[in-house]
Amino acid sequence: MADETKLKKTKNTKAGGATQVQSLSRALLLLERLAASDMGMSLTDVAGSLGLAPSTAHRLLNSLRSHDFVDLDDTQGLWSIGVNAFSIGHAYLKKRDFIAQARPHMKRLVAETGETSNLAILEQGSVVYVGQVESPQTMRMVVSLGSRSPVHAAGVGKALLSALPMKEALELVRNGGMKAYTEHTIINPSQFEQELVKIARQGYSLDDEEQFEGLRCIAANIYNEYGEAVAAISISGPAVRVKWERIPQLSALVMDAAREVTQAIGGKTPKANSRKPETDR
């Protein structure tokens, strides 16, 4: 008798667990249906969309309502997403903080390349550094967070410009002035346009001692869900270490990091841009 009782309890436990999983699955599907509805849904519509009996749908809705996951407009009899569903959905936005998401990838870049990794955004026509992981090397690049760089001479700046419509990018550069910081700085608008086309096609930019003599930088963009560049990640180091023969390997590592951060924030990397310079159109 004891064994029979134990067996019944085991069966009941398994059955109860399966029922709970089924109810959870139905509740999640129900939330998806309500989230897709702009005006709210009636009980009949909710039940019909999931193939449930109205009584079952009503029980699930009331359970979700007790936890503020759904709301009921009593005057119209329409169910809609509740404030707690918004709160949980909003928590996902924290995951899309590209600065926090980029940091582990920046650390990995430093470990793999031995060079400083930077994170920058485009703001008011110039580059603003919002993140950095320093190289352990004695001779290394160091910038203060919040500091700015000329958009046309910095690797991160050129990467970000390459993702903009050409007309907008060139206007930003002209408005900021194309000052020559070294003999390598590109100050010819036509040449700079060709440079942006090249960057868009290959997926990374190279600051070849254009801002500081003896310093090279490789950068690639991080994109949001619309394929828009929201930041650029880079490595920077002395030209004696960031040698020409290392550029293919280093650029691949930077682009990989940029793609991984893009994926982490729910973004999408656009296909290589095949646009031509404005002058060729």
Query: What span, in angstroms and rounded, lies between the C-alpha atoms of 221 and 257?
Result: 10
- The answer to which of 127-131, 215-219, 258-262 has the lowest mean pLDDT is 127-131
pLDDT, residue 23, reads 83
Instruction: Report whether pLDDT(8) > 70.
Output: no
Query: What span, in angstroms and rounded, lies between the C-alpha atoms of 35 and 19?
Result: 24
Q: Which residue has the higher pLDDT, 174 or 281?
A: 174
Instruction: Report whether pLDDT(273) > 90.
Output: no
CATH number of 2-92, picked from 2.40.30.20, 1.10.1270.20, 1.10.10.10, 1.10.3720.10: 1.10.10.10
Q: What is the mean pLDDT of residues 83-105?
A: 79
Split at pLDDT 50, 70, 90, the class of 280 is very low
| Measured torsion, CA atoms of residues 60, 64, 66, 69, in degrees rounded to the nearest 10 | -160
Q: Which of 80, 83, 131, 86 is CA-nearest to residue 110?
A: 131
The beta strand positions in the chain, using DSSP E, are: 70-73, 78-81, 116-123, 126-133, 148-150, 205-208, 215-223, 229-238
Burial 140-159 (b: 16+ CB within 10 A, else e): bbebeeeebbbbbbbbbbbb
- The CA-CA-CA angle for residues 195, 226, 30, to 5°, reads 165
DSSP class of residue 41 equals: B
Q: What percent of the chain has pLDDT over 70?
A: 87
pLDDT, residue 281, reads 39
CB 149 within 8 A of CB 174: no
CATH class, 96-280 region: alpha beta
Q: What is the mean pLDDT of residues 144-172?
A: 93
Q: Which of 216, 250, 209 is CA-nearest to residue 236?
A: 216
Instruction: Report whether pLDDT(104) > 60.
Output: yes
Give the contacts of 259 (CB within 8 A, at least 6 positions apart). 269
Q: What is the mean pLDDT of residues 55-76?
A: 92
Q: What is the mean pLDDT of residues 79-101?
A: 78
Split at pLDDT 50, 70, 90, the class of 185 is very high
Split at pLDDT 50, 70, 90, the class of 125 is confident
Q: Which of 216, 199, 194, 184 is CA-nearest to residue 276?
A: 194
pLDDT, residue 275, reads 46
Task: Check if 2-92 and 96-280 are the same fold.
Answer: no
Query: What span, in angstroms and rounded, lies between the C-alpha atoms of 30 and 70?
Result: 10
Q: Does the reported pTM lie above 0.75?
A: no
pLDDT, residue 21, reads 81
- The CA-CA-CA angle for residues 197, 122, 144, to 5°, reads 125
Every domain of the chain and the residues it spans: 2-92, 96-280
Instruction: Report whether pLDDT(223) > 70.
Output: yes
The tens digit of pLDDT for each residue in 13-52 reads: 555 566 678 888 898 999 989 988 878 999 999 999 999 9
**Average pLDDT over the chain, rounded to whole?**
87
